[in-house]
Structure 1
Amino acid sequence: MRLKFYEKKDDHLIERYTITKEQLRYTMSPKESIELVQQDKNRHAVLVIDEDRLVTFFVLHEKEGVTPYSSNEQAILIRAFSTDFYEQGKGYAKTALQLLPDFILEHFPTINELVLGVNSPNTAAQSLYKKCGFVDEGRLAKGFRGEIKVMSYSLIKSNS
């Protein structure tokens, strides 16, 4: 399994990606997300590929994208995180989040924190993020579908 930045030649993978109405209660579709990525140089679409299949998708948003969630100028926001409906329950989201710190350090060497917002009712996602090392610091923000919990993951290696 690998993470890669979206390129135009990946459109066929995006076309085959299945996202349900239920999932869209909490996230944005890859197609909609890519439209925003193409208009904003601080947004980067990331594809999680297993063999030749797109299994998970998310966007990394730098600079002003992080502002509603963190005052850390070296943070990056994970947004529009989803797993293809037919690939759910296979551990892809968890593996993607485990691969993400090294991917960030390679492509964004100045970033020292991952930040995300998760809808308060979406307890399954909150549980997944906690298992992957994200911390709920008790901050809340206003999302486009109500209140969201802000969670973060430090990329600063402790010397312990």
Structure 2
Amino acid sequence: MPVTLRPVARSEFDLVAHIQVEPDQTRYSGTVAQAFEENEDGVDFHAVLDGARVVGFFKIDRLYHESYGFAAPDELGLRAFMIHRDDQGKGYATAAVAALNTYLAAQYPERRAVVLTVNMQNFGAIRCYRRGGFADTGGIYPHGTAGPQHILRMELPQT
């Protein structure tokens, strides 16, 4: 399934405002509205598109290493990854995760990897991230808001 990824400016909330996950998934990803309200330094927004239709949203944290000691300064953090609830189960998440490798390398050429944490009970997300190219580091982040989390990392190609 071909998808494209693109940056989303803070002024483009309306582009992604419709993205919602199932209520039990918000404990893992939060909401798009929360992402925009938090106004975090070093965080960029991105959309997942099927043609011209936006089907997903995620944040890239350029300062991830400041909050998470397991990340290096030249690594990005993937946060709040979500596919709209009506589009889940159609392959968009796996396709988007697989596209991250070349997309993030082009958007952030000075970064060598992207890191994330995923709740140990979120089996679907773990499977999706692994299929998309992330490797389990074997580390556990014990302080997740919804419980302990696996630490996953994907190396980015260097140009």
Which category of TM-score, normalised to the shorter sequence, fits these structures? Answer: 0.7 to 0.9
* Shift of residue 12, structure 1, vs aligned partner: 2.7
* Shift of residue 9, structure 1, vs aligned partner: 5.5
| Structure 1 gap segments, 5+ residues each | none
**Between 67-76 and 18-27, the greater mean CA deviation after superposition:** 67-76
Instruction: Report the CA distance shift for 1:67/1:15 in structure 2 as closer, same or farther (over 3 A).
Output: closer
TM-score (norm 1): 0.87
Partner of 1:111, secondary structure, is: coil
Equivalents in 2 of 1:9, 1:51: separation in Å?
A: 21
User: Within the alignment, does 1:35 sit opposite 2:53 as a pair?
Assistant: no
Instruction: Report the CA distance shift for 1:79/1:69 in structure 2 as closer, same or farther (over 3 A).
Output: farther
Q: Partner letter of residue 151 of structure 2?
A: V
Instruction: Report the CA distance shift for 1:126/1:69 in structure 2 as closer, same or farther (over 3 A).
Output: farther
User: Within the alignment, does 1:143 sit opposite 2:112 as a pair?
Assistant: no
Contact persistence 1:48–1:96 (CA under 8 A): yes
Contact persistence 2:105–2:111 (CA under 8 A): yes
TM-score (norm 2): 0.88
Runs of 4 or more, structure 1, over 3 Å off, are 64-67
* Shift of residue 27, structure 1, vs aligned partner: 1.2
Contact persistence 1:26–1:145 (CA under 8 A): yes
* Shift of residue 8, structure 1, vs aligned partner: 4.8
Contact persistence 1:14–1:30 (CA under 8 A): yes
Which residue is 1:20 aligned to?
Answer: 22
Number of residue-to-residue matches in the alignment? 155
Contact persistence 1:57–1:81 (CA under 8 A): yes
* Shift of residue 18, structure 1, vs aligned partner: 2.5
Q: Partner letter of residue 156 of structure 2?
A: L
Equivalents in 1 of 2:69, 2:95: separation in Å?
A: 24
* Shift of residue 25, structure 1, vs aligned partner: 2.5
Query: 1:20-51 CA distances to partner (integer Å, 9 max, x unpaired)?
Result: 21111211111111222xx3331001111112
Equivalents in 1 of 2:136, 2:111: separation in Å?
A: 19
Equivalents in 1 of 2:71, 2:89: separation in Å?
A: 34
User: Within the alignment, does 1:107 sit opposite 2:107 as a pair?
Assistant: yes
Query: 1:111-142 CA distances to partner (integer Å, 9 max, x unpaired)?
Result: 10110000010011111111112111111111
RMSD: 1.8
Contact persistence 1:3–1:103 (CA under 8 A): yes
Which residue is 1:79 aligned to?
Answer: 79
Equivalents in 2 of 1:11, 1:44: separation in Å?
A: 12
| Structure 2 gap segments, 5+ residues each | none
Contact persistence 1:66–1:75 (CA under 8 A): no
